[in-house]
Amino acid sequence: MPTSFATDTDRLAETAGFVRQQDAATLLPLLLPGLDALELRALVDRCRFSHAALLVFPPDQEALRTLLAGCALSPDVAAQPSVVVRDRLAARHGRDAAELNVRILRPAVTGPDGTGRTVEVFTLTVPPGSGLAGIAERERDREHEAHLAFEIEQPDPLVLRGMCAIFGRHGATADGGGYNPHEDGTVFYFTAPTDTKAGYRRVELYAPGDHRDVLAAHLDEYRARQSAETLLRLMTGAWTTQALAVFAELRVPDAMHTEEGTGAEALARAVGADPESMATLLRYLAMLGLVTTGRDGFRLTGLGALLRTDAPDSMRPLALMYGGPFYRSFGALGHTVRTGEVAFDHLFGENHFDHFARDPELAELFDRSMAAGSRMFGPLVEHPVVTAAGEAPGPRTVVDIAGGNGALLGRVLAAHPRLDGVLLERPHVLEAARRALEAAGVGGRCAYREGDFADVPPDGDVYILSRILHDWDDERCREILRHCARAMPAQADLLIVERVLPTDDSASLATAWDLHMRCNVGGRERRADHYARLLADAGLTLVGRTPLPLDGSVLHARPAGAPHPAGR
């Protein structure tokens, strides 16, 4: 079996050599340890080893031809799109399937007895700088698409059921399948037993003809197993939260490299941890794609690097916050669901703003976590209202209300050098904001105002409320918006950054955050029409909505009676 971090040439050459050397009689006992002589004879008499498959990552078509020729495989085999593998990759890595150019080709090889076989080569084109390198790295490491295949000769329902039963008795489990009308063939997929010695974790049985009656029972078994596994993964989601938090808390990412591996013992020494427990944590994180493992130890992936302390827009504070105070209060979610009260307040005896304010370290962590979250909403700087203000003649001012340590305002000022800024915040937060904005080179264009929502400064051109309203109930939101409306000149604009609940209850991050806000903060997420009503109650009009990444939105509002932006 190809090893982690080997080159694609090595992997493909090893797979082709494997196909050339093996046959069903020697391979099946390795695949299914414990087969007795009668079972082995029954399988060997009815099927033949047909191919092994793997996924490679050429940068272009010419590189693929070179790769095939270098492994003594024909470079002129016709290729066709592989929709199944493309969709599996998209689902595994959270990518749009349209950006994954996956194809399949089957160059022929000859087995030890002179029989014809193939190497099933799936290819994902990864051009230089395409952003798909992380997928290639993780797929090479885990070999999800590598499998063995056996073709059943002269199948009938009794034979198929008998072969599936033998596989099941020896620990192989149903892993999907399907009927292909273009080839008139039926595929039964299995996950190999845990004690397999064949080196492959996935097995295919291919039966010429339409055998969907037998396939139905196989798929029922697969779906039942998948449902249980899915539910179990959901139940253990808390383990992931804590693994990420501990990984960040111990600063393990800071001690790791993305180019070379480090052993678990060395990492444990570097951060003051138990070596055996550290290895267990890293293996778990490898399942999640934050690290990879190879002969030289553990390496940090691009995903894991987001938890480095020195990473641009580090998400380490978010991991510590979600794995710390909010993790504890989410344990009391049942109290919120039963009573409608905020679990955080019930657990700590006060709301999270007051609780954090009394603990300087927690207050700093919260402000840094909010700043880390601002990276998700960076495209706000390109909003037409902000762009128009930045290009207008004469001075223009952007007012960031409760803007934390100024991360978002700093992005706006850096992108639009002609704009000035005003940051309204609590005194202890302003000190950190002043340092951050000075370090970003925009401090000279920013004024700092101490106060709360009642102190919204007048005479701004663009006002920003970024992830503020979802902290509060409707009455408090109306109050905040009224303060904004009183301060805003007639021609000013208000930009509200929030996750907006979908009107059709479709899947959305806003739905997840709605639960979080109710349990931990006392606020909620809302639909766009709900925000429109709150704005109208405060004398403001919702005039537009622009999408942001991660299900965010910019809601654009203006004072009631002001001309629509299109008429300005």
Tell me which of 170, 335, 416, 470 is the catalytic residue: 470
- Cα dihedral sign for 29, 32, 34, 38? negative
422 in Cβ contact with 457 (< 8 Å): yes
Beta bridge partners of 116: 110
Structure tokens at 264: 């678990």
Residue whose structure tokens are 């974790």: 201
Among left, alpha and beta (phi > 0; psi -120 to 50; other), residue 551 is left
Q: Which of 287, 286, 291 is nearest to 302 (CA)?
A: 291
* 389: phi then psi, degrees, rounded to nearest 5: -65, -40
Q: Using CB atoms within 10 A of its CB, is residue 3 exposed (0-12), middle (13-18) or buried (19+)?
A: middle
Rounded to a whole number of angstroms, the CA Rg of the chain reads: 29
Structure tokens at 358: 């009394």
Beta bridge partners of 540: 559
In whole angstroms, give the CA distance from residue 216 to residue 241: 37
> What ranges in 50-127 are assigned the alpha helix state H?
61-70, 83-93
Concerning whether 516 is annotated as a catalytic residue, the answer is no
In whole angstroms, give the CA distance from residue 456 to residue 276: 54
Residue whose structure tokens are 């657990």: 347
In whole angstroms, give the CA distance from residue 408 to residue 159: 65
Beta bridge partners of 545: 555
484 in Cβ contact with 492 (< 8 Å): no
Residue whose structure tokens are 């109290």: 335
Any idea of the CA torsion for 265, 270, 272, 274, to the nearest 10 degrees?
-10
**First CA to last CA distance, the chain:** 66
In whole angstroms, give the CA distance from residue 398 to residue 423: 9
In whole angstroms, give the CA distance from residue 509 to residue 496: 17
Q: Using CB atoms within 10 A of its CB, is residue 115 exposed (0-12), middle (13-18) or buried (19+)?
A: exposed
77 in Cβ contact with 107 (< 8 Å): yes
CB neighbours of residue 560 within 10 Å: 13
In whole angstroms, give the CA distance from residue 340 to residue 373: 27
* 398: phi then psi, degrees, rounded to nearest 5: -105, 125
Residue whose structure tokens are 């009183």: 486
- Which active-site residues does the annotation give? 470
